[in-house]
Structure 1
Amino acid sequence: MLTISGIRTQAGGFQLGPLELAVPAGRVLVVLGPSGAGKSMLLDTIAGFRTPQQGTVHLNGRDITNLPAEQRRIAVVFQDAALFPHLSVRDNVGFAPRLRRRHPAPLVQDLLDKFGIAHLADRAPRSLSGGERQRVALARALAAQPAAMLLDEPLSALDQPVREELRDVLRDTLRELRVPTIHVTHDRDEALRLGDDLAILAAGTLRQTGPAAHLTQHPADAVTARLLGWIELGPSRRDTQGLHVGDLSISPLDQDSPHGTVFYRPEEILINAHDPSTPAGLHVRAQILEIVPSRPLARLLLRTNPPITALMLHRDLHHLPPPCGTDVEVTLPQHAIRVQTKSSVN
């Protein structure tokens, strides 16, 4: 177990925390937040590169708050790989075992094979691509047989196909490793692909933590909702018929539903496909203004007040009546709508 209790860290006018986190062995906690949220500062504090103003860090029941970084048994992988330029790939991966006077050959070979870099074993880091360097960095971190892993956006600088491939390799490897892992990113897809649990961090404040599936469906505030793919429809007003946003009626919602800002999930919108068995939170006729052929989901811009954006599978576009400008039935299921109160919108 990796436990962060009451940690507060400051740099200039920016303050991180105080915050509480707990990561059990074998779980991957992904800290998701925008640039400048304090994600790297958090990892630096846990790793021992930065001293907190208050709070403690415990690893497997041991207080490591005041230990130097090299004594914490925490492996850190950075965005830029930070390989030893004078060592070959094989020697980079085997550096930590040799430092502990262990025979590294079997472990190193296994990691070279696992990350698909055995054919690069005698190459120098300068001759590698970005994806290859990150594979070496991850293998080197695992060769240290750490008690915990910290990953500071190690995939963010890679091209998308390489990033997606390495994301899958990393996910499988972390599941096998069975140590507490914290991975920080600003990429929602990466967070949901890698994380067992999520922690939403914004402006140095922890907004919400919990299992990834729960946070995705039940964001606690507007910051969390936006980061997890919910789209803001607008501020609501209430009357005897329910909630309204602009010209749109949001009903039938629970009468106890809060008054505030309405958010929705664009991929849940149904076009000409209303299912009577699914309670509708919104049902309206609208024109399709534009179809944006983004991948993997196409984006439909709808003429409503306020405007609505829907995401659809490309194969379902063939069922839409051409051309753009045609009226369609737009249904938003009740479960795909959230109302965030004013206190949680900022």
Structure 2
Amino acid sequence: MSQELLKTPFHAMHIEMGGKMVPFAGFDMPVQYGLGVKKEHLHCRERAGLFDVSHMGQLRLHGTGAAAALEALVPVDIQDLPVGKQRYALFTNEQGGLMDDLMVTNFGDHLFVVVNAACKEQDIAHLEKHLPEDVTLERLDDRALLALQGPEAAEVLAKINPAVADMVFMDAAKIELNGIECLVSRSGYTGEDGYEISVPAAQAEAFARTLLSDEAVEWIGLGARDSLRLECGLCLYGNDIDPTTTPVEASLLWAISKSRRADGERAGGFPGADVILDQIATKDVQRKRVGLVGQSKAPVREGAELFDADGNKVGNVTSGTFGPTKGMPVAMAYVNTALATVGTELFAEVRGKKLPMTIEKMPFVPQRYYRG
């Protein structure tokens, strides 16, 4: 018997709004609505898209030692994270591989952590195993999570509370919206300006209806969420990063705090640090994550093999689609390090044909985060 799929607080609303539901990370989730994936993608780039991301894991860490304890599990500075700021982090294993990527926010009286849906139970077990007795982990299973993304997102949300307009990228605050205390960050997974909003589940549907009453806002499904993040060069856990991939191979050096990789008292101190720091020092990795654009209209999907001009297999595509904003196929792949330079032409095998693709710098379209 297959396990029954979980439902987010917006499940009935997705059905009502014509959402096409599919299994995703153990949840019944909307892959698209009546507009279709391409139009939803473009709507988010042009106006404002609303995403149900309540399948993600929302956690709180309480206790004076919470920042130090979490910092020992990630290659990122947490103890110096200012109140009201959010930071991207990585859980690493002893081999230097990536167990998950996550967002950490300092709300002053606690750390707010958002983890990927498919990794939620593993991450909670990992934290509980390593947290000291004076730090407690609280699961926020009674909260929904919405993402409002796009160039009109700030204008839409500021109609409800003007305070959100003063936030910049990676700011976070407890803000009252529609009379509800919400946890709001100015961040997202589309490359656009926007917000992620944690709201009590009991009030979530009414709040979503308020947002959707603005003519700029449309529900956006998983299909467009994937094409939006891919165009902006953002990794999908389980596809582009996984426990066998190190941050160096994944071209995620920017996500390792400088103090944790330099010579100094705070260098290392996280699982797999010896492997990762050695790779940084020697640059000795066999493969690297790169971006690819196709020359034809045919999308190149996850799993496609890549070849050089002589027919030698040199890599694999981990994510791929047609980029509606870019106007051509876009993909992420791991290729032999010697070939991982912008401008290199490779060939993706699709249904027996070898389609030319060129390595291009990511993001494929400009990121438009609001930095003030």
TM-score by length of structure 2 reads: 0.26
Larger Rg: 1
Higher helix share: 1
TM-score between the two structures when normalised by the length of structure 1: 0.28
